[in-house]
Structure 1
Amino acid sequence: MADASWLTSFPQLSRMELLTIRKTLDGAYKAFSREYGDAIESIFHPILAFLVWFEKLLINTPWPIIILVIGAIVYFASRSWKLLTGVVIALLLVGFFGMWEDTMSTLSMITVCTLISIVLGIPIGIGMARSDRFQKVMMPILDVMQTMPAFVYLIPVVMLLGIGKIPGLISVVIYAIPPVIRLTNLGIRLVDSEVLEAATAFGANGRQRLFNVQIPLAMPNIMAGINQTIMMALAMVVVASMIGVKGLGQPVLKSIQNQYFTLGLFNGLAIVALAIIFDRVSQAYAKRSQKHMKGAHS
């Protein structure tokens, strides 16, 4: 009888060959980070400066003013007194339980990450909607970004830029940006071709069709993408705290390490409160915008 051992043991490289490949790749990346790490870090200095300034602004501004500003934004977006009351109560409880400063740090990080994700994600989504070839290139990249465990891509970012806010910000953006890209692409592709033909018949050029027809009609999908991006950014708060990002994630990490149940619970609930605030406000704004758009078209 012929030897069938090859059926039970998968053919693979030897341990020495694997070790050689890993050492070669690790050495190449370390050489790259030593050569270009400082130059790449300098690119992010303006973002770091803005993030530090915004964080200090939120922390040093008296809490009644912060609550007043957030309340005004909530009411402008939703026109709902119930939502406004809930948000104010949630923020008061956060401050009452001693989590105000950490919450402001997390709020500054999430706000900046969301803005970067929107600024980068919406144009990429538009590009995907306008080019099938670009979409084919981007889809596998987005799949990897969404499915790769966050701890894996923390490694090259930390090796390149070290510990601090910028590595955390980059990690959060990588993790959180795919939804806004995907849903912007989907929303624009779902715009009825007859509507575009009508716009063309009225003399609209490509840019006018995009900004006056496609983006307004795709706005519910785009807002859903922004909403999901915010939720995913908040989900990364605890992971980002492992590489030096201040905020609500650090007490949660500390509670895991030292088994402090109430510390983790309270800070976890503060993250939940922020998530609910962002979620409800963005959804209310999206619904209100949709109603206004329908009213304008009717």
Structure 2
Amino acid sequence: MSFIRKNSNARILIKESGMMAFKLLKLIKNPLKIINLIKLEYLEFRCNTNKRIDSQTKIYKELGLQRDKSIKHLNVILKQLGLNKYDEDYGMYSEHLIIFAGIALEKKNIDSVLEIGTYDAISTTILSALFENSKIYTIDLKNNDPIYKQTYSREDSEIRNRFNIARDKIIASRNNIEFIQMNSLAIMQTTLRKKKFDLIWIDGAHGYPFVCSDIMNSIALAHQSTIIMCDDIWESVDKSDQIYKSIASWETLNCLKYAELIDLYFFLKRVGKIHLNNKKFIAYFKLKDLSTI
């Protein structure tokens, strides 16, 4: 015992061994977690993070974008806005922000942007800064809409009010954002139907019938060069719902691709190892030229 007291390395080793044993006991009590960890390691072995980044980078290149350059530009904008540096494990940050930055760098004809699904307006304000000479139209449900009140932890009225105030403050800080509160299903019944947008970001409800309608309405609001992007694409799910988790966008977009109506690309939403058991994609697509048919 006296040797252990005098030897700090031994004390550290014993402490670490105890912590490891504690973690192992927790895992043994949760066999599903063990299975998920094994699956995670297997998926990482098959295609490690560097390979996933390389694959992602190739898609950027095919679209005339540069991923590394886009990340640098995004971080400049985030700093200007007083937001955290890009890290896919921080909050709602994901690959869509890098793609936006890449488009802002390489595409000079983005004059009007439509965002379906404002949420907390963080993505909205980033869009407004990346495309500072563009008009950003962002759509979300009215504050008193039952779906709005019952989703994304907004059931409590005080929490919901604080959320609304924070969102509205962010929107008011930018002079090129127009916030429209309505159900996106009705978008073609408004004056927006007369517009053709250069960039459309679909991030509303992710299940049937909402996202299918948002995709088809976005196509109606697009011109030949419009870039349309869609968030949270699930290839498969254990259980579907209308708001968060569904294969609706995957099926809809692939049907459009099969019909040769769109050119479609899928980016991993997040490339890190820890996201492999919860793999989602971001879609990037444009209309095919059907004028010769």
TM-score class, shorter-chain normalisation, is under 0.3
Relative to the length of structure 2, the TM-score reads: 0.25
Whose RCO is larger (CA < 8 A, sep 6+)? 1
Relative to the length of structure 1, the TM-score reads: 0.24
Greater C-alpha radius of gyration: 1
- The structure where helix makes up a greater share of residues is 1
- The structure where strand makes up a greater share of residues is 2
